[in-house]
Amino acid sequence: MAGAYWRFMVGEALRFSESRVLDIARDDEDGPAEAGERGTLRAVSVWYPPGEDEISAEAHPAYDALVGDLLDTEAAAALERAGAQFAEARPSEPHAYLTLLGVAPEARGGGYGMGLLRAALARYDEAGIPTYLESSNPANDVRYERLGYRPHAVVELAGGARVQTYWRDPRAAS
């Protein structure tokens, strides 16, 4: 169920060039992988440029149908309420939005996710664009703060989950 939802959301993000996927070309018993051969997925970062929504206007009917297929009425309403809470917490100032930073379980601790994040921040810093993200895992908060993010707001979801949101102004090139 979650896989179908995230495939849809990542598919929507692919309309922009800001998102990145890190995969490692695999080596096998016949030697290294050929150039261009896909390997093991390590990490993904899904970014939206300033002023863009996560779901395009054209995709809203497909999104609504997907949610209707995956969730009962009560769960769909809860998802809609959570979306409204996140939208309300999001700053109105133009910014790039990191909606997903994921690392494969077997790759955690290897620096892959933070490497993708640092690379994106370098691009946004160069362009003078602030960035925004939501942290659902408090263990990651210190990592974001080391990169210059500062707490923006807390979103308290039904059921007690708390999500810390973060803002980062662009840094001048050194």
Question: Over the stretch 22-44, which tens digit does the pLDDT of each residue have?
Answer: 776 544 444 444 444 456 778 88
What one-character-per-residue DSSP string does 86-143 give?
HHHHS-SS--EEEEEEEE-GGGTTSSHHHHHHHHHHHHHHHHT--EEEEES-HHHHHH
Contact 90, 134 (CB under 8 A): no
The average pLDDT across 158-172 equals 94
Residue 107 has a pLDDT of: 83
Higher-pLDDT residue of 48, 104: 48
Estimate the share of the chain in helix, then strand, then coil, as percent rounded to the nearest 5: 40, 25, 35
Q: Which residues does residue 164 pair with via DSSP β-bridges, in sequence order?
A: 135, 154
User: To the nearest 10°, the Cα dihedral for 9, 11, 13, 17?
Assistant: 160
pLDDT reported for residue 118: 94
User: Is 53 within 8 Å of 15 (Cβ atoms)?
Assistant: no
0.75 surpassed by pTM: yes
User: pLDDT at position 13, please?
Assistant: 86
Query: Given a cut of 90, is residue 75 above it in pLDDT?
Result: yes
The tens digit of pLDDT for each residue in 93-135 reads: 999 999 989 888 888 888 888 999 999 999 999 999 999 999 9
